[in-house]
């Protein structure tokens, strides 16, 4: 091991930074975050750096470096682009046995800055010993995605009970078991879901020796339109901890793959006009499984609150007092539009966008056609494949120009994505000429021409 990782308490201690530019600013920010009192020496100092130094209660020295600047400092940073000067600062510091860091010169350093994941009080440091800082940063980025931003609050919660638990369980094994249960069970779940008060209440119960509290919970999670890269961090985390997964046809297999390996999987269908499991039975199943103490993942295509009947499901859960959390997903309109190169709004073409169900219950009568033909609005029809001829015909009949651009996107964001563009007058015929597979989304409005203008092509998204 070339460098031993240590965490340095700098609060109230003076740190010297030699240099007044961008890099000095970056290092100084970190030091100020850790509570250091900054001393910055440079002939010229950037305004932001000045403010930072004064804010830290430190001193600015607008001149060249002198060895005496090291006096009283517990850590030295050389951040200039003058190599001989950096080397001088390093040797002065080493002679005085004060830790020194020279930016981008590992050989001159006695200490180095790691890449940091900050979930204070939990802090993770990653270092390559200065050999491959980019690699360390990439690893940090991976850790950032694995560790929810609320982890710090979880550590904070544990800190508040640490002494009490230590008193309760003098034996270290018992104590470890106690905290493992806390960090892997419903208490951590609540805290990570932002329900700090509830987490604290449960922890108090646990400390007071209440019987293990193991309520089930339902995660209503939006899985996005198809590309697994479009999942949110929270969705992925809950997918990996749920005991049982109830999913629809719309959830792509590649996404289902990411659920915990040993989780039970239940297909609850939902094909147009063919509901494999009726909605009230799905609701009931969620309630029953949660009552058995299971962590139930209700995984839905797109966003659960957009044509997803998510509202009905949580109504039922609320009626039974079952805890739940809802995780938004990228809805088909956003995903398909982005991957097809069609901005849904645009200063010159559309000032509003509407998401509409194209599932026409009574033929034509149940959509407010008159409202849909106004200028400068983009219309997005979900579930509009079967009704496409009627939708286009009604829009024209009610006054939207027959040459209004329109697009149909099949299996948007997946490797099977296909996009058909035309006008209200000819899109239905174009689509009828091809074998089109569900799910499909229809976008109507002038913004559709931007796809041509942007010279968008299939796969463009994966090229950028």
Q: Can you count the helices (H) and strands (E) in the chain?
A: 18, 17
For ligand SAH, which residue of 203, 336, 356, 395 counts as binding (CB under 6 A)? 336
Reported as half-sphere exposure (CB side, CA atoms, 13 A), residue 127 has a value of 15
Q: Distance between CA atoms of 250 and 283, rounded to whole angstroms?
A: 18
Contact 296, 243 (CB under 8 A): yes
Task: Write the interaction track for ligand SAH spanning residues 306-325; mark x where CB under 6 A is met and - where it is not.
Answer: xxx-----------------
Q: Would you say 22 is a known binding-site residue?
A: yes
Stretch that binds ligand SAH, among 30-38, 192-200, 258-266, 437-445 (CB under 6 A): 437-445
| Least Cβ distance, residue 269 to ligand SAH (angstroms) | 13
Rank residues 115 and 218 by Cβ distance to ligand SAH and give the closer one.
218
Q: Is 426 considered catalytic here?
A: no
Q: Distance between CA atoms of 417 and 40, rounded to whole angstroms?
A: 55
Does position 411 bind ligand SAH by CB under 6 A? yes
CA 235 distance to own-chain centroid: 9
| Least Cβ distance, residue 357 to ligand SAH (angstroms) | 8
Does position 250 bind ligand SAH by CB under 6 A? yes
Report the candidate in 343, 331, 339 with the shortest Cα–Cα distance to residue 461.
339
Rank residues 157 and 220 by Cβ distance to ligand SAH and give the closer one.
220
∠ CA(41), CA(42), CA(46), 5° rounding? Answer: 105
Write out the DSSP string of 439-464: -EEEEESGGGHHHHHTT--TTHHHH-
Q: Would you say 46 is a known binding-site residue?
A: no
Task: Write the interaction track for ligand SAH spanning residues 347-386; mark x where CB under 6 A is met and - where it is not.
Answer: -----------------------------------xx---
CA 111 distance to own-chain centroid: 33
| Least Cβ distance, residue 326 to ligand SAH (angstroms) | 12
Report the candidate in 67, 27, 19, 69 with the shortest Cα–Cα distance to residue 45.
19
Of residues 163 through 192, those in contact with ligand SAH by CB under 6 A are none
In sequence order, the 6+-apart residues with CB closer than 8 A to the CB of 327 are 219, 220, 221, 222, 232, 234, 235, 238, 304
| Least Cβ distance, residue 331 to ligand SAH (angstroms) | 3
For ligand SAH, which residue of 283, 325, 331, 377 counts as binding (CB under 6 A)? 331
For ligand SAH, which residue of 412, 422, 428, 445 counts as binding (CB under 6 A)? 412
Contact 382, 358 (CB under 8 A): yes
Stretch that binds ligand SAH, among 37-45, 340-348, 361-369, 406-414 (CB under 6 A): 406-414
Q: Would you say 282 is a known binding-site residue?
A: no
Q: Would you say 1 is a known binding-site residue?
A: no
Q: For tokens 């020796």, what's the residue?
A: 209
Report the candidate in 409, 415, 357 with the shortest Cα–Cα distance to residue 383.
357
Q: Is 248 considered catalytic here?
A: yes
| Least Cβ distance, residue 277 to ligand SAH (angstroms) | 16
Does position 440 bind ligand SAH by CB under 6 A? yes
Number of residues that bind ligand SAH (CB under 6 A): 22
Q: Distance between CA atoms of 215 and 287, rounded to whole angstroms?
A: 11
Does position 427 bind ligand SAH by CB under 6 A? no
Write out the DSSP string of 343-406: -S-BTTTBSEEEEEE---TTTTTTS-HHHHS-TTEEEEEES-TTTHHHHHHHHHHTT--TT-EE
Q: For tokens 């029953």, what's the residue?
A: 288
Does position 226 bind ligand SAH by CB under 6 A? yes
Rank residues 142 and 437 by Cβ distance to ligand SAH and give the closer one.
437
| Least Cβ distance, residue 17 to ligand SAH (angstroms) | 49
Of residues 46 through 85, those in contact with ligand SAH by CB under 6 A are none
Burial (CB count within 10 angstroms: exposed 0-12, middle 13-18, buried 19+), residue 85: middle
Rank residues 150 and 414 by Cβ distance to ligand SAH and give the closer one.
414
Q: Would you say 302 is a known binding-site residue?
A: yes
Report the candidate in 417, 115, 449 with the shortest Cα–Cα distance to residue 252.
417
Q: Would you say 332 is a known binding-site residue?
A: yes
| Least Cβ distance, residue 26 to ligand SAH (angstroms) | 40
Q: Would you say 303 is a known binding-site residue?
A: yes
- 439 preceded by a cis bond (ω within 30 of 0): yes
Tokens of 108: 């001159």
Residue nearest to ligand SAH (CB): 302
Rank residues 58 and 302 by Cβ distance to ligand SAH and give the closer one.
302
Rank residues 148 and 226 by Cβ distance to ligand SAH and give the closer one.
226
Binding-site residues for NAD(+) sit at: 22-23, 43-44
* Residues classed as catalytic: 248, 270
Binding-site residues sit at: 22-23, 43-44, 225, 301-303, 306, 331-332, 383, 412
Site for ligand SAH, rule CB under 6 A: 225-226, 250, 300-303, 306-308, 331-332, 336, 382-383, 409, 411-413, 439-441
């Amino acid at each position: 091991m070339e460098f031993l990782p240590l965490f340095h308490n700098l609060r109230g201690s003076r740190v010297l930074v030699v240099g007044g530019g961008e890099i000095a600013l970056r290092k100084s920010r970190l030091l100020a975050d850790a509570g250091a009192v900054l001393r910055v020496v440079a002939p010229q100092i950037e305004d932001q750096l000045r403010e930072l130094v004064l804010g830290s209660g430190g001193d600015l020295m607008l001149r060249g470096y002198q060895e005496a600047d090291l006096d009283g400092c517990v850590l030295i940073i050389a951040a200039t682009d003058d190599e001989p000067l950096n080397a001088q600062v390093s040797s002065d510091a080493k002679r005085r046995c004060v830790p020194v860091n020279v930016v981008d010169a590992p050989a001159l350093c006695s200490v180095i800055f790691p890449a940091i994941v900050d979930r204070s009080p939990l802090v993770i440091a990653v270092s390559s010993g200065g050999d491959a800082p980019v690699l360390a940063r990439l690893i940090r980025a991976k850790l950032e995605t694995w560790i929810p931003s609320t982890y710090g609050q979880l550590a904070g919660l544990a800190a508040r009970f640490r002494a009490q638990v230590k008193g309760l369980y003098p034996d270290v094994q018992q104590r470890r078991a106690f905290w493992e249960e806390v960090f892997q069970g419903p208490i951590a779940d609540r805290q990570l879901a932002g329900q700090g008060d509830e987490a604290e209440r449960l922890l108090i119960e646990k400390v007071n020796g209440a019987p293990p509290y193991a309520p089930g919970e339902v995660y209503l999670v939006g899985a996005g339109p198809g590309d697994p890269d479009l999942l949110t961090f929270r969705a992925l985390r809950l997918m990996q901890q749920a005991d049982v997964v109830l999913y629809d046809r719309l959830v792509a297999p590649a996404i289902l793959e990411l659920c915990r390996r040993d989780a039970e999987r239940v297909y609850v269908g939902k094909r147009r006009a063919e509901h494999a499991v009726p909605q009230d039975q799905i609701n009931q199943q969620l309630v029953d499984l949660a009552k058995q103490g299971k962590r139930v993942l209700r995984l839905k295509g797109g966003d659960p609150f957009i044509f997803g009947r998510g509202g009905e499901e949580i109504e039922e859960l609320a009626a039974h007092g079952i805890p739940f959390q809802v995780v938004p997903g990228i809805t088909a309109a956003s995903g398909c539009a982005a991957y097809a190169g069609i901005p849904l709004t645009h200063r010159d073409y559309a000032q509003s966008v509407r998401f509409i169900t194209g599932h026409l219950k009574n033929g034509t009568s149940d959509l407010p056609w008159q409202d849909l033909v106004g200028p400068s609005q983009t219309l997005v029809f979900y579930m509009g494949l079967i009704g496409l001829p009627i939708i286009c015909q009604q829009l024209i009949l009610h006054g939207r120009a027959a040459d209004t651009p329109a697009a149909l996107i099949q299996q948007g964001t997946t490797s099977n994505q296909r996009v058909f563009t035309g006008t209200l007058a000819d899109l239905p015929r174009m689509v009828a000429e091809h074998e089109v597979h569900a799910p499909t989304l229809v976008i109507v409005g002038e913004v559709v021409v931007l796809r041509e203008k942007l010279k968008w092509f299939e796969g463009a998204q994966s090229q950028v």
